[in-house]
Amino acid sequence: MKNMAVCNYVISILGLLIGGGIMNAASEFPLEFTVNGPGPGFWPFSLGVALSAAALILFVYTFLHKEDLSQTRVALTLPANRRVYLMMAVIAVYCLLISLLGFYPASAVLIPIVMRLMDYHNKKVMAITTVCTIIFIYLVFGELLHTQMPQSVFWE
């Protein structure tokens, strides 16, 4: 078991690293507003800023309350946490699959896996949800907003 202060510091550092990574990746896309609205990097960059701000707030809060938080124990190895760790692994693999397969095929793999992890078992509904979600993303982001989704490294 670890104490809450240590866990909060670790999460703060991870949040800052991930938020900075998101901002760095988003800065490769146009951020400025045009007549059509914000550039494709604007919202991901804003998400990176929000995540970094939340990480900083958590860090400061933990620093100010470290005595109380050091008394609170966190059990990281409980069986109830298994699904959370599994979901984190699935998301990490999804990030790798986006580079290898492209956004749409990777999402077609991710959606039913996440539904299954959430204890949903109806395969017909899982298939319909996957297809409808991918079509919706394609229509809104690909056609309406003209956003280029990540492509497979094999297609470049």
Short-list 116, 58, 121, CA closest to 86: 116
Residue 76: predicted pLDDT: 81
Residue 41: predicted pLDDT: 85
How far is it, in rounded angstroms, from Cα 35 to Cα 65?
Answer: 47
How far is it, in rounded angstroms, from Cα 140 to Cα 149?
Answer: 12
Please say whether the beta carbons of 89 and 83 come within 8 A. Answer: no
Which of the 8 DSSP states describes residue 140?
I
Residue 154: predicted pLDDT: 77
Residue 1: predicted pLDDT: 54
Which tokens belong to 91? 């998301």
Task: Please state the domain extents for the chain.
Answer: 1-76, 78-156
Per run of 10 residues, the mean pLDDT along the chain (length 156 residues) is 87 96 90 79 92 97 91 84 92 93 94 94 96 95 84 76
**CB contact set of 152 (below 8 Å; sequence gap of 6+):** 99, 100, 101, 102, 105
Which tokens belong to 34? 């045009």
Number of neighbouring beta carbons within 10 Å of residue 100: 11
How far is it, in rounded angstroms, from Cα 15 to Cα 8?
Answer: 10
Residue 137: predicted pLDDT: 93
